Amino acid sequence: MDESRRGFIGKAFGAVAAAGGVASLIAMKKTWDPLPSVMSAGFTTVDVSGLEANKLEIAVWRGKPVFILKYTEDMKPTDGRSVKVGDHYYSVMIGLCTHLGCIPGYEGDKKMFKCACHGGEYSADGVNTFGPPPRPLDIPPFKIDGQTLVLGEEGPEYKKMTAKA
């Protein structure tokens, strides 16, 4: 009698104690979460109306550089990658090499990006063309609002793009 009764109560008590421990761990995990002020600050607004064609504009979104490149007349937009704002096309991409995260430089005369760290190359629409980068430059969530881009918000155009890919 003793062993099994004590065994049952011991197990029940142990289970309740463990439940308390798990609840504490969950609370502790949440304490590590990024603060509400950090999450709400994850939006950047960019006005593209005054941009020069073929001149790279760099915005900052969530601490990362975002490349915004207005196309010239002869640059062809890529389906599923180029963004149309008003009458012009733009590349909107996170300016971090998909290989190991360096910031590639833009060469306007060749209309391509080159990464100094390990020689990776991308075309103007951000598609990786040479070297170690495993995939094209990432496209951040964006929303088109007239002549402004709101980085961080998923607009319908972004949703369509990511659905296609």
For other proteins, the binding residues (CB under 8 A) are 2, 5-6, 9-10, 12-13, 16-17, 20, 27-28, 30-33, 35-37
In angstroms, the Cα distances linking 7 to 12, 15, 16, 22 are: 9, 12, 14, 22
By beta-carbon proximity to other proteins, the closer residue of 32 and 52 is 32
By beta-carbon proximity to other proteins, the closer residue of 11 and 159 is 11
By beta-carbon proximity to other proteins, the closer residue of 41 and 58 is 41
Q: Identify the DSSP state of 36.
A: H
CB of 43: closest distance to other proteins in angstroms?
17
Report the amino acid identity of residue 139: I
Whole-number Å distance between alpha carbons of 110 and 124 = 9
By beta-carbon proximity to other proteins, the closer residue of 40 and 73 is 40
CB of 41: closest distance to other proteins in angstroms?
12
Query: Both tokens of residue 18?
Result: 């463990």
Asked if 94 contacts 139 with a C-beta cutoff of 8 angstroms, the reply is yes
CA 27 to chain centre: 28
CB of 21: closest distance to other proteins in angstroms?
11
Residue 121 burial (10 A CB sphere; 0-12, 13-18, 19+):
middle
